[in-house]
Structure 1
């Protein structure tokens, strides 16, 4: 069993923003399997169970307190820390890049920082989804809480699908195999060309 966490903020105001990229990916994957999200008893997250494979978790605590929801979920579904996969947006990767890793710091991402602090370790697997950095003069908070531009959506939607495939690969074949397939730098160019060609 894995606990797959999609970081983001709850509510329609944030649903399609860059900061909810991880949430969108996990939600889309779960729904593609016909799974239904339900609020956890303590009210800190939405959860969908994929029997004998994974629990998909969408924290309702808002980004900066994501760790509270994850820690609470681990009391209900006590999976090992090395099987907690956190999916989230990353400013340091361009839109279209995915990066899986078995451990590491938060990289300045407050949601991931909250998860690491609550679990007391940096040995937490993660899937970072690039959103790129804002243009000069645009504050980072405004940028991450804004929606993707219309011209970005075709690429963003393709990456949501790829992120779901990456998570499934982790669940079915392991993290190392998924890293080999989805950490490739040429993947970004291939995806962009596919979007351009309508594939």
Structure 2
């Protein structure tokens, strides 16, 4: 079984915030696969579908971001999910808005949800999809920034990023993390450059 976890905070007041981009990717996948993520288990909501000859579980932790590891470790241990079949989707302030990067392993950086997962699993050896949200102008305003909403100008980039991340999940499940990195990391960089160039052209035309 593959376990795909999107990180975020439960509650309507957090809908659409930068910190909930992982939840938005899961929501996009559920619409694409016509399933629901509503089963309550292991401190989260889950839903299952089958594709590419695989059983895939989608999950949203209900612990709030800083304790995401309780849900992830609970599901990994209960269903005996190999860490190579685990994929975490989350926001990353170290990437520009709209950037999408897949990594095979690594530290949690400044992300408290990822730190919690690594601590709970006792390992960094699992894949992740990082979605760039950029950094606040004032470093001291980090909490308000990640719990804030995207600027309208970032909307198209973020919508594209969510779609790309969902594609990355399909490639990860079907073909593995190496091919997912090769396809998504390179393609997203090219697509963003084209988007920015077109945006600049429109400014000049106006």
Same structural fold, with TM-score higher than 0.5 when normalized by the shorter chain:
yes
The whole-number CA distance in structure 2 between the counterparts of 1:54 and 1:196 is 41
Q: Which runs of 5+ in 2 are unaligned?
A: 202-206
Say whether 1:46 aligns with 2:45: yes
Whole-Å separation in 1 of the counterparts to 2:200 and 2:116: 37
Corresponding residue number in structure 2 for 1:25: 25
Q: Which shifted more, 151-160 or 81-90?
A: 151-160
Number of equivalenced pairs: 197
> Which one of the candidate residues 182, 188, 192 is aligned to 2:192?
188
Query: Which whole-Å CA distance do the structure 2 matches of 1:194 and 1:76 have between them?
Result: 48
Cα 1:195–1:60, aligned 2, differ >3 Å: closer, same or farther? farther
**The structure with more radius of gyration:** 2
Q: Which has the higher helix share?
A: 2
SS at match of 2:3: strand
Question: CA deviation digits over 1:105-125, x for unaligned, max 9?
Answer: 001100000000000001011
Report the 3-state secondary structure (helix = DSSP H, G, I; strand = E; otherwise coil) of the residue aligned with 1:87: strand
Moved more, 58-67 or 142-151: 142-151
SS in 1 for 2:45: strand
Among candidates 129, 132, 137, match of residue 131 of structure 2: 129
Which of 97, 100, 109 pairs up with 2:99?
97
1:3-152 to structure 2, matched below 5 A, reads 3-42=3-42, 44-51=43-50, 52-136=54-138, 139-152=141-154
Runs of at least 5 residues in structure 1 that lack an aligned partner in the other structure:
none
Give the whole-Å Cα distance in 1 for the aligned partners of 2:59 and 2:195. 27
Aligned counterpart, 1:179? 181
TM-score by length of 1: 0.92
How far apart, in 2, do the equivalents of 1:191 and 1:50 lie? 33
DSSP-derived class of the 1:126 partner: strand
Counterpart-to-counterpart distance in 1, 2:26 and 2:200: 25
